[in-house]
Each structure stands twice: as C-alpha cells, then as structure tokens.
Structure 1
C-alpha cells in the first residue's frame, strides 16, 4: 500500500505539473491553471482542476468533495493531492488537488466502492473508504492530515509559502510573512511590494504613475477615492494577508486606473467556531491596538473587529524660491518646524449565510475615522533685489478629519463548478473636513491678525452590478456583466479673518465658494478565455463605459461634456518547459479626476506654497503594453518584465507664481499634453538555505512629459522634461529555532521626473525580530526603522520661478509588538464580495508623473 501511495503521489505530482502547463482541466484546460511558487508548490487561482488518470475509467453522475486541514493547527492544507481509485482493482480513476482553502471536488464519479488517498509533502498519507451510490453526492466534510515530523525537517523549503507569488493575472505579496511591518499600517507593507513605490506621505505609484486604483478585499471605498494615502493609514499591517498587483486588468475590472490595480486582501475568518485576536504595538513614533473576533457555526459566519492607531512625528522643512513679477525678482526663504499628531481607526461588522446548497448571501459594513493635526511654526524672509525687505512669522494648525462608511450586500448563486451568477450592491460615503487656522505675527512676535479656512467635503457613491460566468467545454470561459455607479462630490469652503481682538468675518479677498459635482457611469463588459493543448492561454475582452457629468460652482454651471470609452484588453500566456511562463498583455485604460484634483478650495496653509483644484478636468486615456518572463530555477523564482505606456490628457500638477501674494507659488492640476513611460522590472525570491530567504527587485524606467507653460511674456508655450528613474528593494528573513525569526528590509526610490522639475528620492529601512510562543497562539516582536531619519530634496524650474524645497523627517522608530489568539476553530469556506469600483484617481499627492 505504501509503495502504491508513493507511486500515486508521483503520478499526481506529474499531473499537477501538467495542469500548471495546460491550465485547469489538464490538456486544453482553461484559465492558465497553476504554476510553481519557487518552492515546489503549485499556486491555484481558479477552482481546483480535475483530471482523469485512466482513459477508460467509468463515468457517472455522482460527486465526491470535502476539505483538507492540518489537524495540529486547524488550518487548510493548500494544494493537497487527492486521488480516487477502485478498491478492488487498485486502478486510479480520478484525481484533483485542493484549492487554497483546502477544498477539493471530483464530479462524474460512477457508483462503486473506492479508496480516497490524500497526500502532501510534510504530512502523513490519509486513506478513506468511500462508497458512491448512483446519483448521490458524497460530502466527506473536514479531513484532517497529521504532520510528518521527519518529512518537515527534510523539506522545510517546499512547505514554506514564498514571500512573492505570481499567479495567472497578478503578482501576490504575502504580507502576513512580513515581521518588520507589525504595528504599522498598509503603507509600510506596500513599500515592500515589487513594482510599487510609496512616498513618506503614503502616496502610491506603480511603474512611475500614481494613476491607479486601490481596492480593499476586491471592493472600493470612498476614502480611497478621496485619498489613497489617507486610506492606507487606516488599515493595520497586522490585518493584511496579501497585496495583489494587477498591471493588466481584464475587461471585468473597471476601466479606471491607467497604471493598474492594487488589491489589498485582509485576513478573513475561514473557520468554524469562535476566535478572538488581539494585536498591539507601542513605539516612540506610533502605537496601535486592534481586536478582531470571528464566529462561525453551521451556515452563519459573523466577524466583528476594530483597529486604532496613533502616531506622533516631527519634521523640519526649508523652502528657497525666486519668483519674477513685473520684471522684479523676489527671493523667499522659508523655514518651518512641524509636529504631527494622527489618530486613525477602522471598524467592521460582517456576516455571510448559506441560503441553500448553491446560494449564499454576504453583507458587511465598515466604518473609518481619521483625525490628523499638524502644527507648524513658519519663519518667512523676503528679499527684493537681494535686499531683505520683510520678515514675518506664522503659527499654523491644519486639521484633516474624515468619517467614512462602506456597506456591501452580495447574492451569489452557483449552478455548477465555475458557473455562477451574482448580484451586488454597495453604498459608500465619506465626509471630510480640511481646515487650517493661522496666527500672523510681527517681527517682535506680536499677534497681527488671524485667519481661518473652513472646507467641508462630501463624497457619496451607490453601485449596482450583476455578473455571470460559465465554462464552455473544458478549455473555455465566458464572462459578462453590467454595472452602474452614481457618484456625488460636494465641497463648501470659506475664509474668515480677524484682528487680534475682534471676531472673525468673511475675507473679501478670498470669497466663499462651492462645488457640486455629479457623475454617473453605466458600463458593460464581455470576456472570453481560451486555452489550447500547446500551452497557450488567451484572455480577451472589451468593456464600454459611458460617463455623464453635471457640475456647478458659485459662478454657475461648469460645462463638462459626456464621454464614452470602449476599453479593450488582451492577455496571452504561454507555458515554456516545466517551470517558465511568458506573458504578453495590452489594455486601454481611462483615469477620471478624484476629489482632491477637483476641489476648488484655495488652500494657503503654507502661504508661499498654495494649492487649488480644477473642477474642469477631463479624464486621461492611456495605452499599456507589457511583456514578462517568470521562471523557477531550483529554489529560486525570477520575474523580468518590460513595459510601455502612453497617456494622453495626463492629469498632473502645474505650478505658477501667484498674482496676489508676493513671492508665493500656486499649484493646481491640469490635463497636460502627453506622458510616455518605458521601463523594466526585475525581481526574485531566493532560498539561500532552507530557513534563510532573500527577495528583492529593481525598477528602472524612462519618463517623458510634455505640456504647456506660461513664459515671461505671458504667452503659453510647449515644454517637456524627461529622465531615468531607478528604484529597488531588498528583504531577507531568517527562521531560527524555538520560534525565533529575524527580518530586515531596505528600499529606495531615486529622483522622479516632473514636468517642471524633479521630486526628491527617498530611502527606507527596518529590522525586526519575533518570538512565537510554543503553541503559536501568540508572539512578541521588536523592530526598529529609519534610525538615521530621512531627507528629501525637490526642485521646480520655469522661466517665472525657481523653487528648492527640503524636507527633513525625524521618523526614527522603535516599536514593541504583541499578538495573541484566543479560541479554537475548524476549517470551512468563505464568500467574497463582487463589487469592484476601479475608477477614480487618487488625489492630493505629488506623484502624478
């Protein structure tokens, strides 16, 4: 029997490899199937494929299915090999592998008596007797595998999930393996993800563009639409399971996001029973506390959680800028000391319920809160013709407050494996307040006057969508869907001034204003996937979106014509040999302006660097082409990709001298002429020893921008700027005995090209250690990061002004983290929401090139 099981394991492993090459369903299967993760384990992105090992095996109409878990920790055994053979003749008649949730299923099983054998490296083989009756399904329930200590000691590498995985249509970063980011937020995680770059404020860019979409558990959020940086601060790193980077989205995804899609998957309850997780951290620059409970019994699952994070940080900035007005140059030298205080929270309640064997209902509500305060003391010296003519002081307090809510409801009906229909709805709302208060002081530090800017913003979305997918034969998949998004964006703002002893009144120089902006999107898509016997997989589709906009401000109606976009997408993959995959992808994307780009509020919290939105912005259109090669060489995973992108009407920041404030510069958003980006990404995952891993990557791209700029004569002319941007990251983890682990990370991004200058580069680094308790229910960690602080230098140069800004951030941090899990659960399956709004440009950042 053991000999037969060993032979069977080899057969199934070979068949699994064939499945990885041909896609689900074996030769001619669909979807691109699976591929290795660099550790000898397949990675499944579709439902577990089935395959027959005997060409003349009897066929029937019964089904055998169940779940495979590790009996010691009650978690799923991902991708376990499952084989079914006739009890008397020992002939193998069917087989499959479990998916990432441990679920397996074999259909068309004939009546008879069988032995079901489950094998996986690191576990003892499991044999179960199965009696199949004609027309009746066999639910084997939860099947527990016992660990094989000897095997685990010999093959630790193959049982370890890689930090980076490549799936059919995306790259996956397994954040739950990241030790150094515990106690941080989502921005700390994203800084370590290949191809991504995150600046000090949490603004994200992918391959040189910040025009992308961030989803949370496949769902959008109005707070992400308003500001990606704000949303990332609300998500605790401890609750992030994986980060998916989708550089070439299919037609099923919204057409928005010219750079691609980032999908943050949070840890979910996949178990039966009751658990309670406590995660906490204390540091000299930030602290956090989260409490998450999961209860599942029978058909009902309930989750309830809350997370809070506070941070406190100092910075010092300097600004040197020269402006020319009426032929007279004015030099402004500004220094400021700042202190930041932030409090962020996110709270969620969700449930899923099995209405019937093939129907499920999922609902969730999530609340987010943000309270960010910055205090700055400005010293401003101004020179005319190199002679000091004024010195002033300002004490400025800025407040960014928000409250958000996301409510989702999903109904899913499954007709047969891979054939399902879903109806989904979402309500999302975000209320923001962006105020600042200023005290103006004289040379003798006496109060001269006071100023307020009160700005209330409102973002509301209602989404309805329906999707249907069905397999065609064994090697094809057809998908179709409809969607509508009703979006409302409002902004009301006013300026108030007062003398030292008087009350506040309206500022005649800056009158109150408003923006009412309604946007309706109607969309439909078709997608078709076809896999061939010679290891090609084609996924083609097209999506049409029609957008109507009505807008008005205090002056009246803003004319913004409706527009329609036909968005094609093509993804082609080819398995080469036993461990390599080639991919070629093309798509057309659009990018609509977000709230911060549209908001016309005149933000002068820094009197020499003023910002204002542009409600007349049009969407930008981009064409993207990508070619990549991924391969496994023994215990090493490598991926090399080259890409090109051209964007028309690119939304970017444009700066110009102020007409009303001497020496000041105003920055707004405009649709510049075009932007071109060409580059390459190289990254890999290496096992130096079975317990020592090293992964890292290099990003290199050329950026060209072209747009309009006003010269000294007041006439606009075409200008351009170009340059090469280099970035990279390196991370290493070592697993020691007795539950100890050490991890270190370092990353950098060079200067980035802007139309009018360059944005300064940055570097980040951290090192941490963690000790797991004997029962793995708790852990204690210590980490330090950025112990030398940071310095960023940016420049802007035009015929009308020159600006050099330097930002010193004292973000050295030491943090102690603690986590503990209470309760015991067993494995079951979860449901996922279907709504994915991928269609609004993030705002308020400096990364639009």
Structure 2
C-alpha cells in the first residue's frame, strides 16, 4: 500500500491545536519551519486528542533527541506528552536545532512521551512519574532510522516562498516557476534586500561589497567576478538563497554588506535517482541532469546543468572632454549580438566512518563562454566641428573555467559538541581577449588590433572548528583558518596591418602581475539564551593579511595589515514578534578585476584598468529589525546604517594619450555613508494563493578625490536617495496547475561622479504538474511588452559622459522536468565545509 506523508496535517498539528495551548510555543519563537529553512516534517499524520483544560503544574521535563547511528541531534522532532491513564495528549513541543526539548508547567502524574520525526521510527518513553515541584531530565533519547520504502510522496502543504529566520532571510527558489530555464542571477533578482542589474552585478542594501557562497563554500570564479559565477549556475539547481546581513564572528570578516549563500539541491534519499530539467526559449535554452546513489554508509551524487543564450543589444555614448583648452565631443553608437554557454557540474561523496565520524568530498567544475560581436561608429568633434569618423568591428571573448575540490571531516562527541577539519583547493582560468578591425569610410579593413589577457587565480584553504554547549542555554565556538591565494595575470596589446599578421614581438602595452595574499585568522563566539526569550551572540575575529605583488619591472609595496572584527547580535521574542539589534565591523579586500592592470581597449573611447596597489575597505554596520506574524500576514521591517572608510571607488578621467577617451580605474579615495530601511511582507490570501512584496529605500553619501579642471586633485561629493521594490504572487490551482507573476524596479544608483540608470523587470509563468508528481511542464514569459532603456551619467570638471543601453530582453521559454528512481528517506548528514567570505568581486560590463 502506498504511504502518504501529509505535511498539511502536521502543520495544523504543530501550528494550531498543539502550540496554541502550549505556554512555550515553538522553540525560539519562530512561527514557520525549523529556523534553518526546512519544513517541520513528521513521519506520519498524528492523531491529537488534547485534553481540554489539562491541569498545569510547576514541574519540567527535558531531554535530547539524537540519531542512534551517528549520535547527532535530530533537529525539530515532535514531542507529545500523553496522560498514561487516558492516553490523551496533554502537552507537546518541538526539539530545537540541537535536539533539545523542554516541557514546562507539567502537573504531577504519570505520563508517557512519544517522539516522532520523518525518516525515524516512533519512540515512546514510558513510565514517567512526575512529582509536584520536581523536574525530570530524560537525558539522551536515541531514535532509529526507518527504512520503510516510499512508493509515492504526496505533499499537501506549500513551504513559504520567503522565510525570515533567526539570523538570515531565506528565499525558497524551488517554489519559483518563472526562473526555470534561467541562471542564478534570475533567481537573486527576486530575493528581498538584493538588487541584480542586467549585467549580473549583485548589491545588498545598496552596496556591491558582499560575499557570495555556494553551499557555504567559496569559489575562485566568484572572487574574480560574481556576475560571471552567477551565469554558471542554472536556476533549476538552486534550492534556496540565504541573505545574512549581520554575520557573526564565525564567518570571514570580508563582505562589508553581508553574505549571500546559494544552496543547491541535494539528495536526502537512499537508493538511485535521476532528475532531468530542460527548457527552450527565444533568448536561451537549458539542460540539466542530476543523479544520486546511496547504499549503506556511502553516498554518491553527480550531475550539473548548462545554459546557452543569444540576445541583441544596442548602446550609444555621448561624452565631452577638455583637451588643451579645446572641447572634444564623442558621439558613438554600437549594435551588439551576444552568445553565451555556461555550465556547472559536480561529483560528491560522503562516507560514514563510524557512528560519530563522517567524511565528505566533492569536485565542482564550472565553465563560462561569452562571445560578443559589436560594431562601433564613432564621430569626433573638436569645438563642435566634425574631426573624424571611425568604424570599428570588435569580437570579444570572455572565457573562463573553475574547479573546486574539498575534503571535510567531522566528529561528534555528544549532541551539539563537535570538531571538524575542512580543506579546499580552488583554481580558475580566465581569458578576456578581443580582436578589432578598423575600417575606412568604404568599410575596408585598414588595420587590426588584438588584446590577450590571461589570468590564473588559485586558492588553498584549511580550517578547524570546535563547538560545545555549556549547560543547556549557552554555546561556545572557536576556530582557526588559513587562506593562501595566488593571482597571475599576463596581458599584451598587438597591432597589425589589414592582413592580420600580428608580430609576436610587438607588445604595446604589455605586462604581468604576480599577486600573493595569505590570511591567518581565528575567532571566538559565545551564545547565551535566557528564560524570557532574550538571545545574545557575541564574538570577535582577528585576521592578519600579508601581500606580495610585482609587475613586469618592480615589486609593489603593500604593507601587511591586521584587523580585529567584533560582532554583536541580540534578539528578543514577544509572542509572534521578534526584535533584533546587530553591530559588526567588516573588511572588503579588492577582487581580481579591480587589481588586474590590463588596459581593456575593446572600446578605445571608454577604457577600464585595474589597480594592484588597492588596500581593503573598513566598514561599520548597524541594524535594527522587527518581524511579526499577524494571522495570515508576515511583516519584516528594518533600519540600517553603514559607514565605510578607505572606500574602493571607480574613478574616471580623460585619457592623456587617446583624444576624447575616458579611462576608469579603482582607487582607495572615498568615504561612504548609507542609511536606509527595508520593508517586506507576505500575505497568504488562501492556503493556495500568496502575495508578497517589499520596498527598499536608502540615502547614500559619497565623498572622494577626483581631478579638477586644472588636472589637480580636488575633493567632491555626491548624495541621493535610491528606491526599489518588488511584487510577486503565486497561485496553486486544481489538477496540478500553478501561476506566478513577478515584477521588480530599481531607481537610479548614486555614484561619486554621477548616476547609474534605473531599470525594471517583470515575468509571468504557468506550470502543470503531472499526475504522478514526478514531472512538470511550464511556460514563462519575461518583459513581453518590450525592451528596456537604461541611461547612466558621469561628470566632473574635465568631462561629461552619457551612456544609453538598449536591452532587448523579451523572452518566452518552455520548461520541462522529470524525476525517476527509487526513494527511501534517510537523515541528511551534518557536514562542515570551508567558508571564505572575504573578496570584493569585480564588476562585469556584459549584458545577456
């Protein structure tokens, strides 16, 4: 007979009948899920006959629930207290993330305790005799794994699209219909607090100085460019996205704005499975295959996905510069066609060495191939008189691949007491090359140019962590970590005649960069919870950084530096409302694209060059927030402040050698202050229909040094208010049908020398689940009313620039998914892994 797991009945059990009458409510005062992004599951639908007006006393029953095989905590198991004589349930609760549970105000009498959780056999603790005023500690209660075969799993309740946890906000991307067939950037655009522009550059509360992790782990490709990395991850592989605005001392000190953790789908079943996801659209197509096998102590997973896209774009550029007292005006237009092929693939192993020891290993490979064909027409005017017309056809290739290898060990001594050792090696190879043909008025090639830019980024990390509970309401954590990085960049600029015979010895300019960065760090963290629902988490982290750098002719002097990074998080729960206050200090090291001194001359009127002498930013963050559940409505509101010194800012100025050109680089020249608010709400109109949306509003102040009209340095500042928002709704209909709509808007972004244009996006999607729940077919459309026009400006006493980007991003896509295999529920093993959160990502100038 088929076994059905009806989560809706469980939620009704833990959310209404039981906890409405329990004095403690859910652990930690959280009204949804388990505090870690997982639903509250039960092995079977319980029958709850709660005695009316059950007598209350002053005794307490406590204990820990663990897995008997590995002695790790069984998080959020359901606990029911039965009157032994009547067999009626008189009280109940849920174990916390450490497996601990507590029943208070228990009256004298004889009872039995029934503990249930999905994947485990029910456990009954009998003959519990409570005496008036005396507490009972049941100690460690072990649950055995259930090996019952599941022919079919029917889910009758839906996890919320967005959940607000104790220390993070979780966006459950697997519930998103319209993002299927896209990439990670399409998913992140819908996450509250985040903004993702059309190039894939991510910002959190107005700052792009953030750290992005994949399954709690870093990758060298992310260190090079977040935008590149997001294009490698198909949206179908993403389970959820976690936004951590106030990281504790346990996290690396880097990422001044916070941390984004992308959780990919993992198998928690025993047996053999295979998932297929595919899609086709007028802008892109995708294909993904993911399989897993688990038997006994060994688990193996293998899979990945790829995405191809094709799109048109158009740009225009108007800029004026002051050259030797003359005004040079540049008017440029360009048509572009983009082709891209991206993918990410993985192979993972986990092995249970013994009951309390586990070993995990994995290899992840990512690839990104982006090719752009662009035709420029450039008119140069001197004092309003046309001076020249230039035609330029450019083929750009941005090619990269990355590999991440990890090996992790964890040993559990008792519930919540564990020691782990984690290692990871990452390597990425990047090539940013272009070939340009210069044409005359008759469109014949007169000369050719080529830029070769090869980069290698390597990183090795080793860390060890230990945590132990103190009594029942305290936790102590300590750890040390070492990160060893090596960046190598080699670039050259070649010229040739119309035949394209490039002389290998003509390298002008040419150069290289060898950059080594070593970081040694250690942290202490302490958590204390009180009976009246205050939680305090304090910690400090110290990081010491040494850097060696040299170019083709000399060593670059960058002194070593040390940073002490404290963090304080306080929360208080009042019924269904939780208040939080947080402070932390963060640092932001420059990323590869900001360090790379290569001259990018694909467009000689708009040049970008890195700066290998950059030093880190230092930021102080403050945050106050409140969240509450009011019947069917969930609300979250926060105010925040951020103050950054030695800020890394983009600085543009006229070229000394190319007439009419603007050169942009990066400098530690700025001070940045930002104050704002975020408001987010979710309304469950019916169990099958929900609407959520949010508003972001912040004030930004920037101050830094730029070049004045006389070429000398001068102090300037810029201020502005930035507003953004999102609105989303999803409906589950009968017969497996679902509908989802999404819209997003971001206003003008303030920069030191101007503004970055506003933009908006919207989408509508439909999905039909097959009757056996093993597959689905969907149709989604994006920006179907037309493309977008984004207008950005830069200005200073020496120049003015206006750029317009026309993005033709209308899209219609058909998606398909199917799952096959035998399923047997097992516990998802607890693992520890490397978490590097410390490099400022470069910015991409590519559209898709």
Per the normalisation by structure 1, the TM-score is 0.89
Shift of 1:259: 0.3
- For 1:8 and 1:269, how far apart are their aligned partners in 2? 26
- For 1:270 and 1:622, how far apart are their aligned partners in 2? 39
1:141 maps to what in 2?
A: 145
1:74 maps to what in 2?
A: none
Shift of 1:824: 2.1
Which of the numbers 600, 603, 617 marks the counterpart of 2:600?
603
User: CA contact under 8 A between 2:465 and 2:478: conserved in structure 1?
Assistant: yes
1:317 maps to what in 2?
A: 315
1:831 maps to what in 2?
A: 830
Shift of 1:46: 11
CA separation of 1:272/1:708 partners in 2, compared to 1, >3 Å: closer, same or farther? same
- For 1:343 and 1:61, how far apart are their aligned partners in 2? 50
CA separation of 1:298/1:55 partners in 2, compared to 1, >3 Å: closer, same or farther? farther
SS in 1 for 2:274: strand
SS in 2 for 1:141: coil
- For 1:192 and 1:218, how far apart are their aligned partners in 2? 20
SS in 2 for 1:602: coil
SS in 2 for 1:219: coil
1:260 maps to what in 2?
A: 258
CA separation of 1:551/1:117 partners in 2, compared to 1, >3 Å: closer, same or farther? closer
1:18 maps to what in 2?
A: 24
- For 1:60 and 1:677, how far apart are their aligned partners in 2? 46
Matched, 1:674 2:671: yes
SS in 1 for 2:145: strand
- For 1:780 and 1:7, how far apart are their aligned partners in 2? 33
- For 1:359 and 1:107, how far apart are their aligned partners in 2? 28
- For 1:824 and 1:214, how far apart are their aligned partners in 2? 34
1:210-289 equivalence runs, <5 A: 210-289=208-287
Shift of 1:118: 4.5
CA separation of 1:687/1:341 partners in 2, compared to 1, >3 Å: closer, same or farther? same
Shift of 1:508: 6.3
Shift of 1:673: 2.5
2:796 maps to what in 1?
A: 798
1:737-748 equivalence runs, <5 A: 737-748=734-745
- For 1:16 and 1:521, how far apart are their aligned partners in 2? 49
Matched, 1:660 2:664: no
User: CA contact under 8 A between 2:19 and 2:25: conserved in structure 1?
Assistant: no
SS in 1 for 2:247: coil
- For 1:691 and 1:496, how far apart are their aligned partners in 2? 61
> Which whole-Å deviations, capped at 9, do the CAs of 1:64-83 have from their partners, x for residues lacking one?
8699xxxxxxxxx9956332
CA separation of 1:107/1:99 partners in 2, compared to 1, >3 Å: closer, same or farther? closer
Matched, 1:692 2:716: no
User: CA contact under 8 A between 1:362 and 1:831: conserved in structure 2?
Assistant: no
User: CA contact under 8 A between 2:19 and 2:93: conserved in structure 1?
Assistant: no
Shift of 1:15: 7.7
Shift of 1:317: 0.3
Comparing 608-617 with 786-795, greater Cα deviation is found at 786-795
1:35 maps to what in 2?
A: 30
Shift of 1:830: 2.6
Matched, 1:618 2:615: yes
CA separation of 1:377/1:58 partners in 2, compared to 1, >3 Å: closer, same or farther? closer
2:8 maps to what in 1?
A: none
Which of the numbers 758, 763, 768 marks the counterpart of 1:766?
763
SS in 1 for 2:221: helix
Shift of 1:345: 1.2
Q: State the number of aligned residues.
A: 801
- For 2:640 and 2:215, how far apart are their aligned partners in 1? 27
Comparing 88-97 with 177-186, greater Cα deviation is found at 88-97
Matched, 1:840 2:835: no
User: CA contact under 8 A between 2:739 and 2:765: conserved in structure 1?
Assistant: yes
SS in 2 for 1:614: coil
1:718 maps to what in 2?
A: 715
2:629 maps to what in 1?
A: 632
Which consecutive unaligned segments of at least 5 residues does structure 2 have? 1-11, 42-55, 104-109, 129-137
When the two chains are superposed, the root-mean-square deviation of aligned CA atoms in Å is: 3.3
1:548-563 equivalence runs, <5 A: 548-563=546-561
CA separation of 1:502/1:356 partners in 2, compared to 1, >3 Å: closer, same or farther? closer
- For 1:790 and 1:192, how far apart are their aligned partners in 2? 18
1:260-409 equivalence runs, <5 A: 260-409=258-407
1:192 maps to what in 2?
A: 190
Which consecutive unaligned segments of at least 5 residues does structure 1 have? 1-5, 24-32, 68-76
- For 2:99 and 2:825, how far apart are their aligned partners in 1? 13
CA separation of 1:10/1:638 partners in 2, compared to 1, >3 Å: closer, same or farther? closer
1:117-136 equivalence runs, <5 A: 118=116
Per the normalisation by structure 2, the TM-score is 0.89
1:701 maps to what in 2?
A: 698
2:53 maps to what in 1?
A: none
Shift of 1:297: 1.3
CA separation of 1:136/1:336 partners in 2, compared to 1, >3 Å: closer, same or farther? closer
CA separation of 1:170/1:365 partners in 2, compared to 1, >3 Å: closer, same or farther? same
Comparing 274-283 with 495-504, greater Cα deviation is found at 495-504
User: CA contact under 8 A between 2:93 and 2:102: conserved in structure 1?
Assistant: no
CA separation of 1:548/1:380 partners in 2, compared to 1, >3 Å: closer, same or farther? same
> Which whole-Å deviations, capped at 9, do the CAs of 1:123-179 have from their partners, x for residues lacking one?
xx99766679999965432288999x9x99xxx7xx432111111110001111000
CA separation of 1:415/1:89 partners in 2, compared to 1, >3 Å: closer, same or farther? farther
CA separation of 1:831/1:117 partners in 2, compared to 1, >3 Å: closer, same or farther? closer
User: CA contact under 8 A between 1:311 and 1:343: conserved in structure 2?
Assistant: yes
Shift of 1:45: 7.0
User: CA contact under 8 A between 2:587 and 2:616: conserved in structure 1?
Assistant: yes
SS in 1 for 2:491: strand
2:461 maps to what in 1?
A: 463
User: CA contact under 8 A between 1:675 and 1:706: conserved in structure 2?
Assistant: yes
1:572-591 equivalence runs, <5 A: 572-576=570-574, 578-591=575-588
CA separation of 1:535/1:825 partners in 2, compared to 1, >3 Å: closer, same or farther? same
